[in-house]
Chains A and B, each alone.
Chain A
Amino acid sequence: MTTPRLQLTGITKRYPSVVANSDVNLTVMPGETHAVLGENGAGKSTLMKIIFGAVKPDAGEVRINGQLMQIRNPKDARANGISMVFQHFNLFDTLTVAENVWLGLARDSLDQVRASIVAKATEYGLDIDPERPVHTLSVGEMQRVEIIRALLTRPELLILDEPTSVLTPQAVEKLFVVLKKLASEGCSILYISHKLHEIRELCNACTVLRAGKVTGVCNPSQESNASLSRLMIGAEPLQLQHRAQHAGTVVLDVNGLTLAREDQFGMDLVDIGLQVRAGEVVGIAGVSGNGQKELMFALSGEDCRAPVGSICMGSTDVSALHPGERRQLGLHFVPEERLGRGAVPNLSLADNLLLTRTDSISLPKFAGGWIKVRALEQHAAHIISDFNVKAGGPRALARSLSGGNLQKFIVGREIDARPRLFIVSQPTWGVDVGAAAQIRGAILALRDAGCAVLVVSEELDELFEISDRLHVMAKGRLSPSLPAAEATVEKIGEWMSGLWDVKVQQHLAELEASGANAAACQPGVLHAQA
């Protein structure tokens, strides 16, 4: 019998308010691709940090290749053959790929590093030019740099934290090829995710965490999505009813919306055209950072520099109106950042209602109006119970809520206003499966009630589930729409790289030539087109 590459026994880590890991056991064999599956907050990240030496456990032992180890810091971990690719990249934008990798391997010369990058890149088909500055890379390419950097330390165990959340479906395929090759060479991989189909495709072992405890160890290829999610959340997710419905009049009409970026790391919007009708859900897919944020600012009125006539609600030109004025016309918006934008962390839920709702305000002339405290608290309590928000009550501070519960409150706050046009960005980011299903259900109910809905999301599954039509956003441009029934993962994935028409191709080529901005997502595909 072979010794396990990594063996954790009885790992426990307590934080003041929560037990992040309780008596966790985990065994990874050599060459095994082992998934760690769990919802947000189940304790996956803490466990990985313990393995990587960034956090010390309160109890339990870590064995590497059978030897009892005390991993004190990430340097220790690397010395023991453990490498990690974080969800958020640690790269310097102004340095080249080679220089970034060199920083971690100061013993070699820059030329040696360059050579070894090229060698690793060819070996694993990780196409990358070591001389390119990092700020010109796409997210997928940055991840390749991180993986090459990890591979150069010759790891026996590679940890990947949610590696596909920033990738197009095609890039995910490429990544999987690399990972399968690595595993076949005997490298163990710990793969953290909550995407069930990926785990079932890639991994041959799986440890499921729920609320800090191990709820199951299985072989994911022999499980179904339903059985895995039962282990993960203790129940099967709700099935949504998507009823066919005739879309009504155009509520949101965006035409020729071109807008220069507001800050230097933003994305210019180029000639966006979009219509949302009453009673339909329009989805916008795309990898984050392709202009979705800028589009949301322009639609909500947080950025009201849009050209005259480019954004209309019904027959009213709203392009220059402020958020409050658009809200009066029935536009309600849920931003992707909950704390700090959708809600003020240090104010109570009741006070947070006042950000977008004026139902409990009287005497509108004096100092913005008088706050009727009792009415306000009743209103907040109403939303809390209607949308099943777990909170200490209307007086609870927004930051005391979990991400999912705060999101339910914010979505509830906007839906409760009976909007004519509802825009929501990343409705279920970081939200647990149960709450996500509830939020999607609420969005569909709103649609059935005749509201026009626009959803921006990175989760393709989610968009396929709730949308009637789909657009894709890439490099500040918006694709034509496609009925959801005709959309396929492949097609949407291609469009995510901006491959829907010639004009975009030219735009990309110009970008490439000027080097002014992050270049194309897939240089390989680009060459093929050229």
Chain B
Amino acid sequence: MLKLEARAEPSGAWTYASPLLALLITVLIGALMFAALGKDPLKGLEMFFWLPIHNAYALGELLVKATPLLIIALGLAVCFRSNVWNIGAEGQYIIGAIFAGGIALLANADSSRWIVLPILLAGVLGGMLWASITALLRDRFHANEILVSLMLVYVAVQVLSYLVSGPWKDPMGFNFPQSKTFEAATRIPRLFDGSRVSIGVLLALLSVAGLWVFLFRTRAGLALQVGGLAPAAARYAGFSSRKALWTALLMSGGAAGLAGALEVAGPIGQLTPYVPAGYGFAAIIVAFVGRLHPVGMVLSAILMSMFYIGGELAQSRLGLTKSLTGVFQGLLLFSLLACDTLVNYRLKWQTRGGR
């Protein structure tokens, strides 16, 4: 009989091995799934794990998708580490995109390239504003931040839908619910010719460094995490829980808003009802698979981005549904949670009769 036995101390080795084992299990189950769908498993896995990285262009696309995931996840990590459960990054992302889009729509043919700066800033402010509603309700009325932030996602979707089919609809757009295409000046500067990789990647990497410093080298970062790990200790130390709540929600809202701005003023180039692509939700998985650690989240964002691209490839090349992306995301999170058991427990064979 297989038995779980509590470890005296969490295993250091398994902290790192568990995500790898989870990935392996995800790959194996994925292969079985392709076989069950009547496709060659190797071919299927190729879509998800090889084609997204097989040449420079593909790598570029990988980064394009990984950037918003990483930026949102970095913000969420601050929330989750301080025990504030912001599930509504998707909504903050949408409002960020709307604010950025609003500035972008003001531009005309003569606008300078510097307009990108106010666009990004507007995105950040939009995300912060949306997150601050959650913070306010939690702070003043003890409303549950999980429910509030999640429900605000659907409000944000409706706000976007209203704007693109009403006041901001493109008059030349054949009545499609979308804004006019933004001016060229508003486009987020790209890093290389022939690739869609933009300065967003640099912003994301800067944020990684910034978050690492904040979490592990500043007293405010430590105070925030103490509030998450042991609220009574934070109270004893005199770290304000209200301040932590606001800081965490404003940081993560701002990050999600920034990601929204980078997307609409980057790859999308206009406001459409398809701006919300589920990055805000996928970023929750990115944050946890990356162990809420800035560097870990870089790796998990890239992995999650592979799933996005793989899903699209499976649709166009194998005729499978794009929802496979979601299936792989779910599989990975599920296996990771299962494998994490091994961090605190060890497996033991037990012969009958012993106990």
Residues of A within 8 A of B (CB): 15-18, 56, 300-302, 322-325, 327, 333, 335, 337, 339-347, 351, 354-356, 358, 361, 366-371, 373, 400
Contact = CB atoms under 8 A, between A and B. Distances in A.
A371 B236 contact: no
Contact of B226 (A322, A325, A347, A367): A347
A370 B240 CA distance: 18
Interface in B1-40: 5-9
Interface residues of B, number: 26
Contacts of A369: 218-220
Given A335-B236, A337-B232, A341-B232, A368 B6 contact: no
Given A16-B5, A16-B7, A56-B355, A361 B232 contact: no
B218 A302 contact: no
B221 interface: yes
Given A347-B226, A355-B226, A367-B214, A323 B238 contact: yes
A322 to B, nearest CB: 5
A366 B219 CA distance: 9
Contact of A302 (B219, B222, B223, B236): B236
B327 interface: no
Nearest to B237: A355
B342 to A, nearest CB: 14
A376 to B, nearest CB: 10
Nearest to A364: B219
Nearest to A347: B229
A324 B235 CA distance: 10
B277 to A, nearest CB: 33
B230 interface: yes
B232 A370 contact: no
Contacts of B232: 337, 340-341
Given A16-B8, A300-B236, A323-B238, A345 B218 contact: no
Interface in B279-300: none
B236 A373 contact: no
B237 A323 contact: yes
B294 to A, nearest CB: 16
B58 to A, nearest CB: 39
Given A340-B230, A347-B229, A371-B217, 8 more contacts: A16-B7, A17-B9, A323-B238, A341-B233, A342-B233, A345-B229, A368-B218, A370-B219
A327 B238 contact: yes
Contact of A341 (B217, B218, B230): B230
Nearest to A324: B238
A373 B229 CA distance: 20
Contacts of B225: 347
A345 B219 CA distance: 18
Main secondary structure of the interface of B (DSSP, over half): helix
B218 A344 contact: no
Contacts of A368: 218-223
B237 A356 contact: yes
6 contacts: A17-B9, A18-B8, A333-B236, A342-B236, A368-B221, A370-B217
Nearest to A399: B9
Contacts of B9: 17, 400
A291 to B, nearest CB: 18
A367 B236 contact: no
A346 B228 CA distance: 11
A343 B229 contact: no
B236 A323 contact: yes
Contact of A322 (B221, B222, B223, B238): B238
Contact of A373 (B217, B220, B223): B217
B352 to A, nearest CB: 15
Contacts of B230: 339-341, 344-345
Interface in B37-85: none
Name the residue in B9, B230, B235 with the highest tally of chain A Cβ atoms < 10 Å from its Cβ: B230
Contacts of B235: 302, 323, 341
Contacts of A343: 233
A367 B221 contact: yes
A367 B219 contact: yes
Contacts of B8: 15-18
B229 A346 contact: yes
B229 A344 contact: yes
A302 B232 CA distance: 9
Contacts of B223: 368
Interface in B224-273: 225-226, 229-230, 232-233, 235-238, 240
A361 B219 contact: yes
A16 B6 contact: yes
B218 A371 contact: yes
A355 B8 CA distance: 26
Name the residue in B218, B219, B226 with the highest tally of chain A Cβ atoms < 10 Å from its Cβ: B219
A292 B217 CA distance: 37
Given A344-B230, A345-B229, A346-B229, A354 B238 contact: no
A343 B236 CA distance: 9
Q: 7 smallest A-B Cβ distances: which pairs?
A: A17-B8, A368-B219, A323-B238, A324-B238, A368-B220, A355-B237, A367-B218
Contacts of B233: 340-344, 355
Contacts of A333: 236
Contacts of B216: 371
Nearest to A56: B355
A340 B232 CA distance: 6
A322 B236 CA distance: 10
B219 A371 contact: yes
